[in-house]
Every structure is written in structure tokens, then in C-alpha cells.
Homo-oligomer: A and B are copies of this chain.
């Protein structure tokens, strides 16, 4: 077992920099609850839905038409980067096969791998936009996404090989990686892609093959960026591409949010292999700035519509929030790498916040609708999204569209859901870490000895997490429980007896024992609802509060409110109790609905004017009302609605 390579997206080769070792999705199964159900829906609903759109939009045809032996079909369609949408969906399929075999899905991957292989040029180059004659190879990297697409192809090929052992897609990926080395390596070209992604992919294929050329090109591309070598264009100037400042000198996240976090994920990957401390330091500084000053409570990042970009610190207005789904997925990927590098729970905290809130809200409960940008407040109930046409990403319907002209987000959701089990736990010498709490069966080893556990929990609707040792040899080893940053007063017990809970500097409570089968550890996390405020420099929610319960951010949606309650004109009482309804089914998910005492603000005194002298401003004088809150993740599933997360405190 010691040479076992986990089925996981990030498998560092070097061990010196690795605080935690990944445990793959072959060793961790999600065996119940909402995430397990989502994985089932991901296969049974989202996969056919997505491949339907990838066909009807011409995304697969764009590659089919390049088959030298084929008959030319249709014109190439869609934006430059459509290949990557397909590759990400393939990566999702691949991880899903690692989770659970399927002949049908295996055939689908094999078929599409064949299509890509036939489109691929002899030297490994493949890009449906350039090969359609719409651009010149490597000539327009600032916008062509050629390396970006190849990066996703590489990740898909690696996923397929790791999950299934099959190599048809991986072989195509290796050829594509080889053409990048041939054309860019040893500074044969001194430019780079306008959209980062290739960096992560090249490091990972180095890990998969041991070929240092890939690592060297990843390093080269990271080194080149930041020196304003990219021609700027209509998308924006150098900071948009993280090309204004070398990554080692940058102190915060700037520009296009997805690009910024993908770059940093690649930078941490590089650090993990090379040990260059400056890279880790830069990634940490940027992550810290992002987390403390440029992240919404929901885990959304990138507040600006223009450029899908990070704004200034504390520029986080809910009513004009962008919050791209892919950006938060990118942050999960970045935070996971930082967790592996440092072992610090704050990175798992960030993943939890992102998963239970923005990521979960990005996808309709029927798993056939998606937010590209994720509203954080909605003052007006908008028309529902059409299910038969795909809007541009900037459109703002009242519910989640079925697909997008720029279809990056849905396949990104697919691959994250399919590979989710690989983000839950890790091991070190002598210990296993539990980072996220879901019903799981874990079958791994500690110090070379097999260990099996089951985790039973209704988290986050209840705060109890029970871990049962199923197999252990009686040797002494540690179980590390992440204590979330919001959890004050967590407790542990072993076989019914309270155990001391000491939180390490890394943020974990460790129990070391000679574990035996049948041992049961119970972690109690206090999940009472709480009122949350954000930094006073976030102008847009000053004097307002949100409700959180455990890791879940709540939202007030108009469909739940009493008749006559207008969420645009309500306040919460400062000392209000938050009452929890009994656990119920809401949209197919066990949920806790919350109620908080507020008052309707009578804004009649303002009629006709938008401003007044401070001395003339009327106070609150409305009627008391009970406001109903549901998990933000579930909003916009019951038709168009008004929604807000933050509600002003009555003054």
C-alpha cells in the first residue's frame, strides 16, 4: 500500500514541502447526505444535461470537424476557449468514474478522447479555434486561451488515468504537453497565456510522469508573467492578467479573479515541488489579503462585473456583486494546495465557507441550472431564466440559466463535485486529518497500517460528528479534527467519555490513541445561529447583520416572508433572538429554517426624495415582523424572488 498513488487532483512528488498528504477519492467515499446526493445527480442529471449542451452548442463538433478523415461539419462555433469547457466536463466524468465505475461513461470518454486525438496535430498541438483558421497558432496568446485549453486537457487526461488506469485521454494530454515544451521550453518563446491554468497542469503532469521538462516550463511561465509582456487588449490592462507585477512581488490579488487564483494555485504547486519559499510567501500574502479584504461572507470573490475582477480591499457591495462560480472553485483549489503545504485549518475553513455557500448556491437543486455570477442581494424579482437558450454570463435572470454562451462554470462544478471526496481528509506520519465533515467511509493507512473509519453526521444541520473506527491494528495514531473558526465551545468524547479538546496552533484537535475497531469519537460543534457583521471598511453593509449557523450563511428570500413584508424595507432588532424551526425538508434537503424578530421600516417620510439633512432623517417606526431565513445555498429555487443576506440593524 505504501506505493499507492491516491486518486486525487493534486499529488505532490516532493515530500519536503508537504505538511499533509492527500487521501484520494478511491479511499474516501461520501456515503450519505446532500453531497452524496449531489454526486448522484452530477452523474445522472448534470452529465447528460451538460453533454447535451456541449453537443447542441457545437463544442464537440468544433473538434470533430478537424478529423482529417472526417467530413467537414458545420462552422466552428462559440468563443475561443470552448475546448476547455469540454475538457473540464471530461475531467468531471473521469473523477466520477474513480468514484463509481460506469461502462456508459467510460465509453463516452473513450469516444471523445478519439475525437480529440483525431483533431490533434502530429506534434501534439490541438485547438479548435486556431485549427479552424480563426487565429494563428500561439500568435495571440493574450486572448487565444490556447495554453489554457491545453492545461484543461492535461488535467482531464491525468484525472482519467488516475481514476481508471486508462491512458487514451492521457496519451493525448502528454502529446499536448509535449508541444508546449517543444515550442515554449528553454525560453524558445518568452510569452505566456492570457489566462492562467497551464501552470497547475504542467506541474501535475510532471508529477504524473516524472518528466522535469514540464516542471521547467511551468516555472518559466510563472517567471515570465508580471513583466507586462502580454499585449493588452479590450479585456483590460496588465493587472487584469496579473502581468503588471511579478507574482513574487505582488501583495494582494488583482485583476480577473479566476486568472488570479488559478495562477496562485499553480504557484503553490511549483513551491510544493521546488521548495522556493518566495513562491509560498507570495501565495500566502495574496491569499491572506484576499480572504480578509476581498471575500464576501459567502465565499464569493471578484466583486467587479467589469473584468470579472477583484476590486479594491473592502469593495464588496452585495447589490453589485459579481462573484463568479469558477473563481470560488479556483479558490478551493488554491486553498487546498495551501492546506497541503501548511497544514493550517484556516485553508480548510475557507474551503468550507466556499463549499456550503457560494459553491452550493451556484447550482439549482435540480442540478440543471447554474449561476455564472452569483447575486449576493436582489432588490427586484427578475424573470426566470430560460431553459432552452443560453444567456451571456452578464445576464441577470431571476433563477439559474441552464447553460451559458461562456460555459466555463457548469463543467467546473461537475469536476469539483465528482472529485469532492479528495478534498475532505489527509494524512501525516502517525495521524489522519478530518477537514470537512460529511458522511464518509475512509479506507486508508497510517504508518503503513490499514485503517478504516466511518464518519456519521447530519452536519451542518446538526453539529454532531461521530467517527467509528472500523478497522485498526491497535497501534497508536492520531485523529485530527478541524475546529472551524466559527466554532466556540466544541467538545470531544471517546466511547461516550468526554475527552480533552486542545486546539493546536494549526487549528486541529488531536486525539491520539491505540485505536481499536468499534471505538467511537464524537465531536460536538456548536451551531447555534449567530449574527455576523463584516469589517467596517466594507461600506456597503455597514450597520447591517447577516445570520450564520455553523458554516451556513443564511439569506432572506421573499417567497418565505409573511404577506406584506418587503425585504427592501426591513430591519433586525439588535437584541433579537434567532429561533430555529424543527428540522425540515426544504427543496429535497434537510434544512433548518430560522426566524428573527425585525421591523418593517416605514420609509414614507422619504417619499419623493433620496436625501435629507441628517437632522431631518426619520428613525425606524415600523411594525414588528418575524423575518424568515433559509440557507443562502437554497435561494432562487422557487421562482423569481427578492433576496438579501445582510439586513440593517434597527437604530
Contact = CB atoms under 8 A, between A and B. Distances in A.
A1 interface: no
A394 interface: yes
A610 B295 contact: yes
A533 B313 CA distance: 24
A14 interface: no
A231 to B, nearest CB: 14
A532 B646 contact: no
Interface string A607-631: 1111111110100000000000000
A565 interface: no
Nearest to A382: B312
Interface string A516-547: 00000000000000111111111111111100
A24 to B, nearest CB: 32
B539 A377 contact: yes
Contacts of A646: 539
Interface string A271-304: 0000000000000000010011101010000011
A317 B611 CA distance: 14
Contacts of A303: 320
A259 interface: no
Nearest to A601: B536
B380 A312 contact: yes
A285 to B, nearest CB: 12
Interface of A: 234, 237, 288, 291-293, 295, 297, 303-306, 311-315, 317-320, 377, 379-380, 392, 394-395, 530-545, 568-569, 574, 601, 603, 606-615, 617, 646, 648
Contact of A538 (B320, B531, B610): B610
Closest 6 CB pairs of A and B: A312-B379, A317-B317, A531-B614, A543-B543, A540-B540, A320-B320
A617 B311 CA distance: 24
B530 A613 contact: yes
Given A395-B237, A531-B613, A535-B603, A568 B306 contact: no
Contact of A610 (B293, B320, B543): B293
Contacts of A533: 611-614, 617
A534 B317 contact: no
B319 A539 contact: yes
11 contacts: A292-B609, A293-B610, A311-B320, A312-B319, A531-B614, A532-B612, A533-B614, A535-B603, A536-B648, A538-B610, A539-B646
Nearest to A574: B614
A234 B542 contact: no
Given A304-B305, A312-B319, 6 more contacts: A535-B610, A536-B606, A537-B568, A539-B648, A542-B542, A542-B544
B292 A610 contact: yes
A315 B306 contact: no
A539 B603 contact: no
A533 to B, nearest CB: 5
A569 to B, nearest CB: 6
A120 to B, nearest CB: 32
A169 to B, nearest CB: 35
A537 B317 contact: no
